[in-house]
Amino acid sequence: MHSTLTGHEYSSCGHVTHVATEKPGKPLSLEIVKTLKGGVSLRWKAPTSDGGADITNYVLEHRIESGIKWVRATDDKIAGTSYTLQKGLKDDMVYEFRVSAENRAGVGPASDPTQPTKIVEQIST
């Protein structure tokens, strides 16, 4: 006999036989650290909920300012809460970025997007 209690399935002997997971929440405080030639460096905070499973990847997307379609920025696995996208963006174009957390249940909702940002190489003085 099985029973369900708070998202966990227990066998009649009381052992957990299956743990239900949900998609993680949305990442927080996404910000652009700096722009590069053809790229950008970003960081964010992990979501407040991991959905009951470890976050295994973050999915980074971009779109041209006021565009409709979000495009996946990289196929790389992003394990941490920062990433530098070094290619794929056009200089002098204005982009918005967002990030989503992924666990074994799937990809959760996207963060709030960044402010529109022009991609230009920053020169150190």
Q: What is the pLDDT of residues 32-53, one digit of tens each?
A: 999 999 999 999 999 999 999 9
Spans of all domains in the chain: 22-118
What is 22-118's CATH superfamily? Immunoglobulins (2.60.40.10)
Q: Is the pLDDT of residue 9 over 70?
A: no
Tokens representing residue 24 in the block: 């993680």
**Whose CA is closest to 64, among 7, 117, 120, 122?**
117
Longest dimension (CA), the chain: 70
Tell me the C-alpha distance between 53 and 70, whole Å.
26
What is the residue-averaged pLDDT of the chain?
86
Q: What angle do CA 71, 92, 75 make, to 5 degrees?
A: 25
Tell me the C-alpha distance between 119 and 125, whole Å.
19
